[in-house]
Amino acid sequence: MILVVGGTGTIGSEVVRLLKVENASFRALVRDPAKVEALKAQGIETVAGDLRQPETLPEALQGVEKIFVVTPLVPDQVEMRAALIAAAKAAGVRHIVMSTGIGAAPDAPVQIGRWHGENQQQAQESGMAWTFVQPGFFMQNLLMYAEAIRDKGEFYMPLGEGKVSWIDARDIAAVAAKALTEPGHENRAYPVTGPEALSGAELAAILTDIAGHTVNYVPISPDQAKQAMTAMGMTEMLADAMNELYALAPAGHLEGVLDTVEQVTGRPARTFREFARDHAKTFGGAWRSR
């Protein structure tokens, strides 16, 4: 039995879909009762539990042999995952597959990498087998700008002229699903990227082609980015941590391309053009064959 933690999010929902396709035995941990019915309507078994309430985890972990966990960027994410790791060890779970971040390590140069690294170390010291899927920036992040792209023909990021090897969250999930359903992935770290590194201007050119109207990339300052993130409800601490990540792009640290997705899944990672084509209506256009 596999327990999926974070199964309604961007990565987790695709992990759930792939496990269902494989007819794997799994259930989803659900904190919000409002989401239970939607999952049950898809034929997915659910179990109540909350990483912020560790006392709910032993029952949820009964009979579980493997776990997939992804958590959102929240101030207490380290404590949340630590509680799960401890409960999983106590319950006799054999293998934990965790989505972290590329370059994650206790001594990573950015705070988010250190947070992920702390949980990775806890998993490694637990005695359970572990697999870390370590993505960079998600293509799905661009969906946050869909309204501005449709209405204004613009999107805004503090990336300067730096290039990023954007990865589709569906490919992150595909690597995780392989680790959950096939042998041979134990005690492996899988840094994953897309197949190409693109600048903001190159993203805009592809979006222009897909959307059918001009789309421009507007580079903004870290202060402007922080203001926008906090206006959306993000804490200053998390906004500063995100700006640390963004600052890696102008320095050229986010442009490395790896073939991990193809090595693990047997097919290449999706290109940004494929992603944009799949979301053409969201960006305000209909894809036309070129």
CATH number at residue 95: 3.40.50.720
CA distance 36 to 214: 41
Look at residue 239 and tell me whether its pLDDT is greater than 60: yes
**Is 44 part of any domain?**
yes
**Is 205 part of any domain?**
no
The whole domain housing 24 covers 2-136+167-192
The pLDDT tens digits of the residues spanning 245-274 come to 899 998 889 999 999 999 999 999 999 999
**Is 84 part of any domain?**
yes
**Is 268 part of any domain?**
no
* DSSP output for 38-65: HHHHTT--EEE-BTTBGGGHHHHTTT--
**Is 213 part of any domain?**
no
β-strand 198-199 against 46-48: which pairing, if any?
unpaired
**Is 30 part of any domain?**
yes
Amino acid at 149: I
The pLDDT tens digits of the residues spanning 78-111 come to 999 999 999 999 999 999 999 999 999 999 999 9
**Is 202 part of any domain?**
no
**pLDDT grade, residue 285 (50/70/90)?**
low
3-state secondary structure of 114: helix
Burial of 271 (0-12, 13-18, 19+ CB in 10 A): middle
The predicted model scores a pTM of 0.93
The pLDDT tens digits of the residues spanning 119-175 come to 999 999 999 999 999 999 999 999 999 999 998 999 999 999 999 999 999 999 999
| Number of domains making up the chain | 1
The pLDDT tens digits of the residues spanning 43-88 come to 888 888 899 999 999 999 999 999 999 998 888 999 999 999 999 9
**Is 70 part of any domain?**
yes
Give the residue among 271, 289, 280 at the shortest CA–CA distance from 150.
280
